Amino acid sequence: MAEKRVNYSSGAPLEEKVGYSRMVKVGDHIYVGGTTSVQPDGTVYGENAYEQTRYVLEKQVKLIGQAGAGVGDVIKVDVFAVDMKMCADISRAYSEIFHDIRPLCTVVGTPALNRPTQFVEIMMEAVIGCGL
């Protein structure tokens, strides 16, 4: 029998219009889609890659909490950066949250994101109950 699927919305207008979820939970597995540092009022948080990375990771950790996971349950983080020269700032923010947990992490360069003031987009995966 297949595991039950639960879709989670962040309330972004495009989720309903386009037909996607911010997060999907299947059994104990949680998948968080690409997330940027757009705030609820539609503005972009942070003026550099460090601030944006930290904001997005905290936002995603809070989101997986709604599905019953914690920061220690994160197993994979994928970061898309508009400039690979930003890796030091991205790594610093990542390390502040995940240094001792050590999930898989990939940083990929991308030519652009939705807005020119966005520097990173992040996806995350977690498994409930596997945490440190």
What local confidence, expressed as pLDDT, does residue 111 receive?
Answer: 96
Split at pLDDT 50, 70, 90, the class of 118 is: very high
Specify burial of residue 33 (Cβ count, 10 A radius: 0-12, 13-18, 19+): middle
Amino acid at site 89: D
What local confidence, expressed as pLDDT, does residue 119 receive?
Answer: 98
**Fold of the 21-127 domain:** 60s Ribosomal Protein L30; Chain: A; (3.30.1330)
Assess whether pLDDT exceeds 80 at residue 11.
no
Other beta carbons within 10 angstroms of residue 98's beta carbon come to 17
Lowest mean pLDDT of 35-39, 55-59, 98-102, 106-110, name the range: 35-39
- Which tens digits make up the pLDDT trace of 47-84? 999 999 999 999 999 999 999 999 999 999 999 999 99
Assess whether pLDDT exceeds 80 at residue 2.
no
Tell me the C-alpha to C-alpha distance, in Å, between residue 108 and each of 29, 39, 76, 77, 82. 23, 23, 14, 11, 9
What local confidence, expressed as pLDDT, does residue 16 receive?
Answer: 83
CA distance 33 to 22: 5
How many alpha carbons lie under 13 Å from residue 81 in its C-beta half-sphere? 21
Other beta carbons within 10 angstroms of residue 61's beta carbon come to 20
Query: Residue 123 corresponds to which tokens in the numbers above?
Result: 């996806």
Alpha-carbon dihedral angle through residues 28, 128, 90, 111, given to the nearest 10 degrees: 0
Average pLDDT over residues 15-21: 88
Amino acid at site 97: I
Average pLDDT over residues 26-55: 95
pTM for the full predicted model = 0.94
Q: Are strands 74-81 and 104-109 parallel, antiparallel or unpaired?
A: parallel
